[in-house]
Amino acid sequence: MNVRKINELFSKELKVINMGLDSFADNLRREEVEVLQMDWKPPAGGDKHLIALLDKLDR
């Protein structure tokens, strides 16, 4: 079981991308964690069919 990257994370500073609730990013900033808040929107306007297509292209 390879967990090397997890242990690496433990010895580094957290650098977080927050996708969703703003308050989670606010709280991290109070703790002096570098965090980037995303302005997340459902992809393809929420159209599930389109999303499935996009995913296929991704893979």
Partner 1 sequence: MEQALLDKRARAPLLPTLVGAGVPSLTGWGEVVSAFSSAVNIRHSGGLLVSLVGDPRAMTYLSVCVPALFRNPKKRLVPGDRIRFDGHRMVTEDFVLDFPGRPTWQGTLSLKDVRGLEVSKVSLLKEALLLKGRAGGFLGLLRGNGTNNPFVDKAIQVLRGVQKAPSQAARLEALSGLVGLGPGSTPSGDDFITGVLLGEEALKLLLTTEAKAVADSREPMIPWSMEKEGLRVATDRTNDSGKTLLWQALQGHFPQYLIETVRSISDAEGKQEITEAVERAVSRGATSGTDALTGFLFSMEGGL
Partner 2 sequence: MKKILVRKNAYYDSVFLMLATKALKQWPGIKEAVVAMGTEVNLGLLKEIGLLSGEAESAKPNDLVIAIEAETGDAAEEACRIAEEILKKKSHGGGEEEVRPASLDGALKIFPEANLVVISVPGPYAGREARRALNKGLHVMIFSDHVPVEEEVELKDLAQERGLLMMGPDCGTAILNGKPLCFANGVGRGPIGLVAASGSGLQEVCCCIDRMGGGISQAIGTGGRDLQDRRVKGRMMLMGIEALKRDPETRVIVVLSKPPAEEVAATVLSKLEDSGKPCVVHFLGRKPPGTRGSVRFSGNMEEAAAMAVALSKGEEYRERWRAPLGAEMARVAEAEVKFMASEQKYVRGLFAGGTLALEAVALFEEEGFRILSNVRKEPGLALRSPHRSEGHAIVDMGDDVFTLGRPHPMIDPSLREERIAKEAADPETALLLLDVVLGYGAHGDPCGPLAESVAKAKAQVAGRGGYLSVIASLTGTEKDYQNMAEQKKKMEAAGCLVMPSNYQAAVMALHVIRKVGAR
Is 15 a binding residue for partner 1 by CB under 8 A? The answer is no
Do residues 46 and 53 lie in contact, with contact meaning Cβ atoms separated by under 8 Å?
A: no
Q: How far is the CB of 53 from partner 2 (least distance, A)?
A: 12
Instruction: Spell out a b/e string for 24-49, using b for 16 or more CB atoms within 10 Å of the CB, else e.
Output: ebeebeeeeeebebeeeeeeeeeeee
Looking at the Cβ atoms of 4 and 30, the one nearer to partner 1 is 30
Task: Give the x-and-dash track for 19-58 against partner 2 (CB under 8 A).
Answer: xxx-xx--xx-xx-xx-xxxxxxxx-------x---x--x
Is 22 a binding residue for partner 1 by CB under 8 A? The answer is yes
Q: Which two tokens stand for residue 46?
A: 């929420």
